[in-house]
Amino acid sequence: VSGDAPDTHLVEVTVNGRRHRLPVPGWRTLSDLLRRDFGLTGTTLGCQEGECGSCTVLVDGQPARSCLTLAVQVADRRVETVESLDADGEPSPLQRAFRAHGALQCGFCTPAFLLLGTALLRQDPAPSATCTRRWLDAALCRCTGYQGIVDAVQAVAAGEITGEQP
């Protein structure tokens, strides 16, 4: 759909449960859309080359690297960022598990790990530790052995920390 300026497209997208309609330049990345247009700075940028995964968000429930995704590609789709996890003011079970298991890393990688874990637990409420580790490979942190993060996901899977959503 054409917008006002050349190469601008009118995009409808659902972000964290709210539907929006806005003009978007064709070259705008999803990470810029989220951070600049929506002020959702929980989506962080590391390499901006598709390597580190710190910019991970969920698109229709699937992890996606927002630095490599164009905003126009999420037209009519559902995007979730880390800000959605405690949208009702309460930390999600996985967020509480991260705290309980010392899984909180820095502000760059933690949002990606939380979203990856959330997506995994929705698809498979009881993933094995091996499967969890493989899944978390999508985000890179050189500062941890990932054990606390794996433990946190496993704690939710084991029902140690409960709630309606992972």
Residues of the shown chain interacting with ligand FES in the complex, contacts defined by CB under 6 A: 45-48, 50-55, 65, 67, 105-106, 108-109, 141-143
> Least separation, in Å, of the C-beta of 129 and ligand FES?
20
Q: Based on CB atoms, which residue is closest to ligand FES, 119 or 157?
A: 119
- Nearest approach in angstroms of CB 95 to ligand FES is 16
Q: Which is nearer to ligand FES, 31 or 157 (CB)?
A: 31
2: left (phi over 0), alpha (psi -120 to 50) or beta: beta
Query: Residue 86 carries which DSSP code?
Result: G
Shortest Å, Cβ 113 to ligand FES: 9
Q: Which residues contact 135 (CB under 8 A, 6 or more apart)?
A: 116, 117, 120, 127
Rounded to a whole number of angstroms, the minimum distance from the CB of residue 133 to ligand FES is: 16
Nearer CB in complex with ligand FES: 136/157: 136
Q: Is 4 exposed, middle or buried (0-12, 13-18, 19+ CB in 10 A)?
A: exposed
Contact between 143 and 74 under an 8 Å Cβ cutoff? The reply is: no
